[in-house]
Amino acid sequence: MKKVFLFLLPALLLISCDSSKVYQKFEDMPNNTWARDNVVTFTVDIQDIESAYDVDLAVRHTSYYPWANLKVNLTSVYPSGEERTRDYEFFVRNTDSSFKGEGAGDIWDINFEWLSDITFPEKGIYTFKVQNIMPLVETADIMQIGLIVRKSE
């Protein structure tokens, strides 16, 4: 019995450390290329409107990504149908041209704070849309786009 308990203990610790996340999903980009017409959509069910949340855009790219930035249009659609949209420019490189985020081999992961310490005004399904607005029709070396929603600490 001790062996089973010791085996399960690390898994329980991982779950408890990650309790603030209420949503996390990643969408793969075909051929590691994000086309402008490929709007990535995430749907999140928010029932707790008393708590504050942080919403991050997660990007996985290769070390061959040639740009210092990533320009996106982010749209929030409320359960009532109200939409809010805004363009953002996130920087994937530091001033010395090294990549920000976590790297392993030729793969880099970076999370960008989109919304911080916000409360959702309505219960229900929120839709978040992410559109590539880089100058080229296709942006190469983008592997995944993700959305992470967690309760603020």
Q: Per-block average pLDDT, block size 10, for the chain (153 residues)?
A: 34 48 97 97 97 97 97 98 97 96 96 96 98 97 98 93
For residue 17, the model assigns a pLDDT of 52
The domains found in the chain, sorted by start residue, are 20-151 (2.60.120.260)
- Per-residue three-class SS string for the chain: CHHHHHHHHHHHHHHHHCCCEEEEEEEECHHHEEECCCCEEEEEEECCCCCCEEEEEEEEEECCCCCCEEEEEEEEECCCCCEEEEEEEEECECCCCCECCEEECCEEEEEEEEEEEECCCCCEEEEEEEEECCCCCEEECEEEEEEEEEECC
Q: pTM of the entire structure?
A: 0.84
For residue 20, the model assigns a pLDDT of 85
For residue 8, the model assigns a pLDDT of 34
